[in-house]
């Protein structure tokens, strides 16, 4: 009986060993398939039994890294690196990159490439050579972009953040009517191709639409179409290949000037997946887009930047907080003039990541009234008791003539409001002319060009008068 018991025990041990090996093989396959969350607990359990195993430490580190835990991942990846696992420095570089430690990431990539060269020198001539991972080159590209962006982090005030369901997150952007609308793709005619997921931008008139659709190569490109006089839509047309930037283009928003376009693209000029870009158009079409940089863009996906000029509020959405089925929307106060943090600012990376949006507030600031206004049903209309809505330095909002401290300031404000109405009227005329042109009245092309130049002059004048209001009221812009 004792012999039989020993045989059974041995068989069970062999079976358990086989099951363990199979489980690790399955976990490795999960990791290769990108299911890091499912593979992680299997690797952690195996590592608990063999805490010094180099491969297990690397696998746990990679799974933590790819599930949004770069700081925790470093502990395990360092063990793998100490035990000379060839790929460990590359993953450590990725962990540094995700924490905005771009210089450190660059150094680790250098060491990774040196390790590949050293390993190959030690191999016999006919032995298979170690190859640098293509991911390393992509990480190097993104690291260089990240460092350049970190040198130019815009100093903005983020007044709020919210976590919302990923599906149709843009419905939480409360735009004033003058800023247009963000719509689900189901507003499109049935025979129009659309990207999924995406949204459709329409100006206040509703006569023009911008959206994203797959091209013949299944890449997403931005499309436009105009409603004709008989109520039908003209043939959809790409807004311009210059906007594609080698990747998918999606989530468009156009400013009320009809010239400035924000959208997301995940091509080679992106640091994460989708980055937010800006482009403007002239008489020849859209110009080369520019990455808007940090803090709007991150090492994760960032989408759909929209600005409501009427009420002085902007929105953008991001995956940087790793919320799974939810997405973060930040609300901020836009500015005509970009001001960047000094490159030697304390906490620069934290500000770029927006670790805490409250740290962006000036001392003593309170945005509860503004947030209440944004969330109210009357947002976009003039509230009772509010004479106007004007942003002062320090992101202070004034809404009454009583807030102006001198006759010169009140005179400047009168001029500002008059010029603002003039700009609004010209933009409405410009929109009407563009619709006529799209309907076939090409003889209005000259009027469109003149009106575009006029609106640009009015915008410049409006900025100058705005500064005059501030100076006359005794405040520094």
95-106 tens-digit pLDDT:
999 999 999 999
- Residue-level pLDDT at 17: 41
Which residues is 316 bridged to in the sheet?
A: 330
Per-residue confidence (pLDDT) for residue 126, from 0 to 100: 73
Q: What is the pLDDT of residue 22?
A: 58
370 or 148, which is more confident: 148
pLDDT at 390: 73
Distance between CA atoms of 314 and 174, rounded to whole angstroms?
10
Mean pLDDT of 129-149: 94
Whole-number pLDDT of residue 5? 43
Tokens of 349: 């990376």
Q: Which residue has the higher pLDDT, 40 or 190?
A: 40
The whole-number pLDDT of residue 7 equals 38
Over range 287-310, report the average pLDDT.
Answer: 95
What pLDDT score was predicted for residue 144?
A: 97
Give Cα separations from 416 to 333, 454, 459 (angstroms): 20, 16, 11
Q: Is residue 9 very low, low, confident or very high in pLDDT (cuts 50, 70, 90)?
A: very low
Note the pLDDT of residue 475. 64
Contact 304, 333 (CB under 8 A): no
Q: What are phi and psi of 183, to 5 degrees?
A: -130, 155
Is the pLDDT higher at 50 or at 423?
50
Total Cβ atoms within 10 A of residue 417? 15
Give the percent of the chain with pLDDT over 70: 90
Confidence bin at 397 (pLDDT 50/70/90): low
Q: How far is C-alpha 401 from the geometric centre of its chain's CA atoms? A: 38
Lowest mean pLDDT among 16-25, 87-96, 400-409: 16-25
Whether the predicted pLDDT of 40 surpasses 50 = yes
Report the alpha-carbon distance of residue 477 to residue 400 in Å, rounded. 19
Query: pLDDT grade, residue 206 (50/70/90)?
Result: confident
Q: What is the model's pLDDT at position 381?
A: 39
What is the pLDDT of the chain when averaged over all its residues?
Answer: 87
Query: Are 409 and 473 in contact, with CB atoms under 8 Å apart?
Result: yes
Look at residue 389 in the predicted model and tell me its pLDDT: 62
Share of the chain above pLDDT 90, in %: 56
Contacts of 46 (CB under 8 A, 6+ apart): 20, 23, 24, 27, 53, 56
- Please compute the mean of the pLDDT values over residues 300-324 and round it to a whole number: 93
In this structure, of 109-118, 140-149, 333-342, 398-407, the range with the lowest mean pLDDT score is: 398-407
pLDDT tens per residue across span 419-476: 887 877 787 677 677 767 766 788 888 888 888 888 888 888 888 888 888 888 876 4
Contact status, residue 73 vs residue 65, Cβ threshold 8 Å: yes
Q: What is the pLDDT of residue 394?
A: 55
Provide CB contacts within 8 A for 176, sequence distance 6+.
308, 310, 311, 379, 380, 381
Average pLDDT (187-203) is: 93
Tell me the pLDDT band of 372, cut-offs 50, 70 and 90.
Answer: confident
Give the helix/strand (H/E) hosting 410.
helix 407-438
């Amino acid at each position: 009986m004792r012999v039989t018991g020993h045989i059974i025990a041995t068989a069970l041990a062999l079976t358990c060993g086989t099951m363990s090996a199979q489980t690790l093989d399955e976990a490795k396959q999960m990791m290769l398939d990108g299911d890091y969350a499912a593979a992680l607990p299997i690797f952690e359990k195996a590592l608990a039994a063999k805490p010094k195993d180099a491969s297990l430490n690397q696998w746990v580190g990679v799974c933590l890294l790819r599930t949004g835990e770069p700081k925790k991942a470093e502990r395990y990846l360092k063990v793998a690196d100490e035990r000379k696992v060839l790929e460990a420095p590359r993953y450590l570089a990725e962990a540094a990159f995700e924490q905005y430690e771009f210089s450190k990431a660059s150094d680790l990539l250098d060491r990774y490439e040196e390790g590949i060269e050293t390993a190959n020198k030690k191999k016999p001539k006919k032995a298979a050579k170690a190859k640098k991972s293509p991911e390393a080159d992509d990480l190097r590209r993104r690291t260089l972009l990240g460092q350049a962006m970190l040198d130019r982090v815009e100093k903005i005030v983020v007044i709020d953040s919210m976590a919302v369901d990923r599906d149709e997150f843009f419905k939480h952007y409360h735009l004033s009517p003058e800023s247009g609308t963000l719509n689900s793709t189901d507003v499109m005619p049935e025979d129009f191709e659309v990207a999924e997921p995406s949204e459709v931008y329409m100006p206040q008139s509703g006569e023009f639409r911008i959206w994203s659709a797959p091209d013949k190569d299944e890449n997403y490109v931005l499309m436009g179409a105009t409603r004709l006089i008989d109520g039908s839509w003209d043939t959809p047309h790409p807004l311009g290949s210059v906007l594609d930037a080698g990747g998918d283009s999606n989530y468009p928003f156009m400013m009320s000037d009809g010239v400035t376009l924000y959208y997301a693209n995940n091509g080679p000029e992106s640091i994460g997946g989708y980055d937010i870009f800006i482009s403007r158009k002239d008489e020849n079409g859209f110009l080369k887009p520019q990455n808007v940089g940090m803090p709007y863009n991150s090492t994760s996906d960032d989408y759909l930047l929209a600005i409501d000029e009427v009420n002085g509020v902007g929105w953008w959405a991001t995956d940087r907080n790793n919320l799974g089925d939810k997405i973060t929307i930040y609300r901020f106060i836009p500015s005509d003039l970009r001001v960047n943090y000094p490159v030697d600012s304390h906490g620069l990376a934290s500000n770029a990541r927006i670790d805490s949006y409250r740290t962006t507030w000036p001392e003593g600031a309170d945005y509860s009234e503004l947030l209440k206004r944004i969330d109210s049903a009357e947002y976009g209309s003039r509230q009772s008791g509010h004479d106007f809505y004007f942003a002062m330095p320090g992101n202070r909002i004034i809404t009454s003539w009583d807030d102006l401290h001198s006759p010169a300031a009140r005179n400047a404000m009168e001029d500002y409001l008059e010029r603002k109405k003039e700009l609004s009227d010209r933009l409405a005329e410009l929109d009407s002319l563009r619709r006529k042109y799209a309907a076939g009245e090409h003889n209005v092309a000259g009027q469109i060009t003149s009106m575009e130049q006029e609106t640009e002059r009015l915008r410049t004048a409006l900025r100058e008068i705005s500064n005059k209001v501030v100076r006359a009221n005794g405040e520094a812009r």
